[in-house]
Amino acid sequence: RKEVEQDPGPFNVPEGATVAFNCTYSNSASQSFFWYRQDCRKEPKLLMSVYSSGNEDGRFTAQLNRASQYISLLIRDSKLSDSATYLCVVRPVGSSASKIIFGSGTRLSIRP
Amino acid sequence: SQTIHQWPATLVQPVGSPLSLECTVEGTSNPNLYWYRQAAGRGLQLLFYSVGIGQISSEVPQNLSASRPQDRQFILSSKKLLLSDSGFYLCAWSVRGVEKLFFGSGTQLSVL
């Protein structure tokens, strides 16, 4: 089983729609979680951290479900500019704490 | 402020030739440093990470090696490139103990 798994998509939704995707992780002791956004042929950029209680940043909401070992990203009122690949990131604990693992990414395409 | 420099942006190399990609970070000390590779349409694969000078952790057995000769310098090398080494190579850094990654602009490597 991969350490971090994501649905690759693509998700193709109309502008204004709400879209959500998940990311599962295998190490139950993982402590830190993030969502990154990557535009085509560019470097990934941090979108938001994921906190245990869930957190929101404008139209974006991130949640963590430790019991089921997944994190989620919800995008409301999607914009054309939201089209990108969304990567989830998990940091293990212990001796591998510096090893930061990326999921394979979920492609999102917003259509007019 | 901190900046990360990665070069070259694009590289075309013949099979069997050597490789050297360099990454430097400015404005911080003792960073964790990372090399990732991304194949076309795929996620980021962690290749190497380093928590200090001369300390390299290798994640995937392969045709590549990494070195950290100075605190803020991270080098990715190969003695003989393979076709399968083609991809988008990304260098990244983080503050030790903080998981947010900051990426360089990437090197698109094509092995022909």
Contact B32 A98 (CB under 8 A): yes
Does any CB of chain A come closer than 8 Å to the CB of residue B89? Answer: no
Comparing CB atoms, the residue among A6, A44, A99 nearest residue B103 is A44
Kindly report the average pLDDT of chain A as a whole number: 90
pLDDT at A93 over 80: no
Q: Which of B42, B46, B101 sits opposite A104 (nearest CB)?
A: B42
A104 touches chain B (CB under 8 A): yes
Mean pLDDT for the stretch of residues A83-106 = 84
Is pLDDT above 90 for A15? yes
State the pLDDT at residue B68: 96
More confident position, B35 or B42: B35
Burial class (CB in 10 A: 0-12, 13-18, 19+), B30: exposed
**CB hemisphere CA count around B44 (13 angstroms):** 31
* B78-82 mean pLDDT: 95
pLDDT score for A58? 96
Contacts of A47 in chain B (CB under 8 A): none
Average pLDDT over residues B94-101: 79
Report whether B32 contacts A98 (CB < 8 A).
yes
Q: How far is B49 from chain A (nearest CA, A)?
A: 7
In angstroms, the separation between the Cα of residue A43 and the nearest Cα of chain B is 6
Which pLDDT score, from 0 to 100, does residue A59 have? 97
Report whether A107 contacts A21 (CB < 8 A).
Answer: no
Note the pLDDT of residue A71: 94
At residue A62 the predicted structure's pLDDT band, cuts being 50, 70 and 90, is very high
The share of chain A scoring above pLDDT 70, in percent, equals 95
Percentage, residues of chain A above pLDDT 90 = 64
* Segment A6-33 mean pLDDT: 90
The arithmetic mean of pLDDT across residues B76-102, rounded, is 90
pLDDT band at A92 (very low <50, low <70, confident <90, very high): confident
Closest CB to B49 among A36, A98, A104: A98
Which of residues B15 and A94 earns the better pLDDT score? B15
Q: Which residues neighbour B20 within 8 Å (Cβ) at sequence distance 6 or greater?
A: B75, B76, B77
Q: Do B106 and A101 touch (CB under 8 A)?
A: no
What local confidence, expressed as pLDDT, does residue A31 receive?
A: 79
Q: What is the pLDDT of residue A56?
A: 94
Do residues A60 and A74 lie in contact, with contact meaning Cβ atoms separated by under 8 Å?
Answer: yes
